[in-house]
Chains A and B, each alone.
Chain A
C-alpha cells in the first residue's frame, strides 16, 4: 500500500534547477533506496519532503503522505508532522545529539514536544525504545551523556529518537556512511527490523550500491536532479537499463590495471613502534594516565610495493601514519626509511622521501594560495631554482591529468576529484619513494574514485612508487594493494598477500570485517 507518493517534484535554488520531475512511491513496510553521487539531489529530495530546504529554495509538485500534500502544508502543520509522522536520521551521529543533555532526555523530548505523553510516561517510552535499538538498561541507563557513547551507539540513540512516536515514514540520509563496517551492519539490521515490526516505510538515501542491494526492496537511481531508473532492487541491479546505472556499477567494482612491481628491497621498516598519549590528569596531583595507541607494531614495506593498512576508526592507524610521516616521536621501537631513522627532527633530504595524500579534498589546501604555490610546497625539502620549479609543477599537473594553465587558479575552482589529483601532484613533485595515501579516495564518488585509482596505478608504474594505502574500505584495498595489514586496537592482527587474506582470512577479526562488508549478490552482477 502506497504511503508516500511524490509526483513531479522540482526544486530550484535561485535560478539553479536542483530537482526536475522527481516521482516515486514508497509503500508501508518497505525500504526504498535512493542512490546517487554527491550533488545528484538525493538529500535535497528528503529536505523538500520535510520542508527543511535552505533559504531561497523553491519547490513545486506534489508529495502526498497518506493523502496530505506535504509541500502545501504551513510551517505550523509541518512542525506537528516532523518527528511525529516523519522521522529523520542524519549522517553524522557525532553532532546530531545535544552534548549537554542525557540520552533519555533527548529521546523523551520528542514525545513531550508533540504532547504524546507526560514526562514520566515519555521516559518510560524512551527506555523501551532504547532497549529496542539495542542499548540495554544495564549498560545504557537514561542518564548517560552522548560523549560516553561511540559513533554507532549514538546513531542508535538517533534512531530511537526518530522512531519514538512510531512515524509512518522514516528518512535516513546516509545513516551508516560515517560508521565502521561492523557497526554499519548492525545499524542496517536494526533499521530493517524496525521497518518490518512497525510497518513503517523507510527511505534510505545512500551513495553505496552495496548497502542498497542488501537492504532496499525498491530503488531509484538519481543523476543530476532526475530519477533515471527505478524499480525493484534486484531487477534494476540485474538489468541496468540506463547508461548511468551501468557506469555506476562498473565504477564500484572497478579494478585498476596494475602490474606487480614489488622488489625484495625494504623501503620502510617499522620495528616494534609504540605511540603513547598522555590523558588529562584525573586530579591535580595524580600522574597523567597513558593511552597506548600503537602497541609494538612491526612491518616492512618493500620498494615498489602497495601495502594496505586496514582498520576501523580508533584502531591507531592515523597515529601510526603521523609517526611514519615523522610528525610525532615514537615512545618505543624505530621507523626506518631507506635505512635511516624517521622522526620529527630528521634531515630534510630524509623527509623528502615520503609524502602524503589526505582524505578530505576540501581541507587539504590553503584557500589563499594558487595551485602553483600549493603544489610547489614540498620544494622546501628539496630546493630547486624557480624556473625548474615551474616546469616541474607543470609536469606534475600533466602527470595527474590537469592542464598547466590550472597552476594559476585557486583551489576553490576545482571539484573534489580534481583537488585529489592536485594533492597527488603535490605529493609527486619531489619524487618521493613512498606516498602515504591516508583514506585518499574515501571521500570521493565511485566514478571519480575509479579514475583516481587508475591514476595511482598508472603513476606507480611510471615512477616506481611505493604506496602505503590506509583505508577502512576493504573493497578498495583489495583492488589496489599487493599485501595487506589488518590493524585492531593498536596491533597488527593479520598480515599477508591481499588475495590470500581476503579469500582465506585466519584471524576472527578479519573474518568479522569481511563478513560485515556489504556486497552486491554475486548473481546480480554477471550478465
Chain B
C-alpha cells in the first residue's frame, strides 16, 4: 500500500521542526541565553545564520529551544482537549436527550462563556505563571471544543442503520461509541486537532505576551514573536523567522491530518 503524498510531505515538514527542537537539547549554535550586546540586531550571515535579536542572542538557537516550549505546550494542550473532550462528547451523544447530555453540554457552554485568556489568567493567577500552567489553561479550554465537535459528528451517526444493527447485536453505548462511532468521526477530530494545535501555539504566545506563559529566559516561538513586535520596523526579520516556524509546523500538521484521513478511510485508500 502506498502512503499518501500529503502524509509524507507533512511528516517531513513536522519532523524537521521537531528535529530542530530535539537537537537543541544537545547542541545549539550558541548558548541559548548568551547575550552579545555588541552584536545586537545583526542581520543573517555566516556567523549568525538567522541573525541576532535586540540583546545580541542568536536567533537560530532561540528558535530551536523555543520550538521545544511551543510544540510541547500545543501538543499537550491538544492531548488534554482530546482525552477530556472526546469521551464527554461520545457520552453525550450516546445518551442524547438525557440529563447526562444536558449536563455535559451546558457545562461546555459555561466554559465557552469565558474567553480562554480570562480562564488562563485565572488559572495562572492561582497556580502561578509558567509553561506547565499555560498547558493546563489552554488544555482545559480545548475540552469543550472537542466535546462539541465529537457530539455533533456522533449524533448524525447514531441515526444510521449500522449503529442500530450493533444495538440489535446487543452492544451497549460505550462499546458502539468505541467501535463504530469514534473511527467514523476520526476525520473530524484530526482536522479539529490540527486547528487546535495551531491555536495552542498562538494561545501560548498570547499568554507569554502578558507574562503568564514561559518565563524568561525560556524562549518560545510565541514569546519571540511578541518580543519582536516592538522592533518590527528596525528588524522585521526577527518576527519573520518564528512566524515562519509556526506557519510551517502548522502546515506540516495539517498535511499529516489530510494524509491520515486518506490513510484511515478504506474508501479513499488506493489499491
Contacts and interface: CB of A to CB of B under 8 A. Distances in A.
B96 interface: no
Contacts of B179: 366
A401 to B, nearest CB: 20
A363 B161 contact: yes
Contacts of A356: 164-165, 168
B162 to A, nearest CB: 5
Contacts of A365: 162, 165
Contact of A368 (B161, B171, B184): B184
Contact of A363 (B162, B166, B169): B162
Contacts of B113: none
A381 B170 contact: yes
A348 B175 CA distance: 15
Contact of A366 (B168, B170, B180, B264): B180
A8 interface: no
A363 B158 CA distance: 11
A225 B166 CA distance: 38
A127 interface: no
A360 to B, nearest CB: 6
B164 A358 contact: yes
Given A327-B168, A377-B169, A368 B160 contact: no
A368 B170 CA distance: 20
Interface in A342-376: 348, 351-352, 354-356, 358-360, 363-368
B165 A364 contact: yes
Contacts of A355: 168
Contacts of A360: 161
B183 A368 contact: yes
Interface of B is mostly: helix
A377 B184 contact: no
B267 interface: yes
A377 B161 contact: no
B153 to A, nearest CB: 14
Interface string B146-189: 00000000000000111011111111000000011001100000
Contact of B164 (A327, A367, A426): A327
A363 B160 contact: yes
B266 interface: yes
Nearest to A351: B170
Q: Which of A351, A355, A377 gathers the greatest number of chain B CB atoms within 10 Å?
A: A377
A contact residues, range = 20 to 34
Nearest to A361: B161
A383 to B, nearest CB: 11
Contacts of A358: 161, 164-165
Given A348-B170, A367-B184, A368-B183, A377 B267 contact: no
A232 interface: no
Contacts of B164: 327, 356, 358
A377 B166 contact: yes
Given A327-B168, A410-B266, A366 B161 contact: no
A327 B158 CA distance: 13
A359 B165 CA distance: 12
A378 interface: yes
A366 B266 CA distance: 11
Contacts of A352: 170
B162 A364 contact: yes
Contacts of B265: 367-368
A410 B165 CA distance: 17
Contacts of A366: 162, 179-180, 183-184
Contact of B168 (A325, A367, A368, A412): A325
A368 B162 contact: no
A380 interface: yes
A367 B266 contact: yes
Interface in B185-226: none
Contacts of B183: 366, 368
B170 A380 contact: yes
Contacts of B267: 367, 410, 412
B169 A378 contact: yes
A358 B167 CA distance: 13
B160 to A, nearest CB: 5
Nearest to A430: B169
Interface in B43-62: none
A355 B166 CA distance: 10
Interface string B65-77: 0000000000000
Q: Which of A358, A360, A368, A423 gathers the greatest number of chain B CB atoms within 10 Å?
A: A368
A360 B160 CA distance: 10
Given A348-B170, A366-B184, A367-B184, A377 B266 contact: no
Nearest to A357: B165
A280 to B, nearest CB: 11
A366 B161 CA distance: 9
A208 to B, nearest CB: 24
A104 B245 CA distance: 57
A483 to B, nearest CB: 24
Interface in A364-406: 364-368, 377-378, 380-381
Contacts of A364: 161-162, 165
Q: Which of B164, B169, B184 gathers the greatest number of chain A CB atoms within 10 Å?
A: B169
A327 B170 contact: no
A377 B162 CA distance: 10
17 contacts: A325-B167, A325-B168, A327-B168, A352-B170, A354-B168, A356-B165, A363-B160, A365-B162, A367-B267, A368-B183, A368-B184, A368-B266, A377-B165, A377-B166, A377-B169, A380-B170, A381-B170
Given A325-B167, A367-B184, A378-B169, 20 more contacts: A325-B168, A351-B168, A351-B170, A352-B170, A354-B168, A355-B168, A358-B165, A359-B161, A363-B160, A363-B162, A364-B162, A366-B179, A367-B265, A377-B165, A378-B168, A378-B170, A380-B170, A412-B267, A423-B165, A426-B165
Minimum-distance CB pairs A-B, first 3: A358-B161, A410-B266, A364-B161
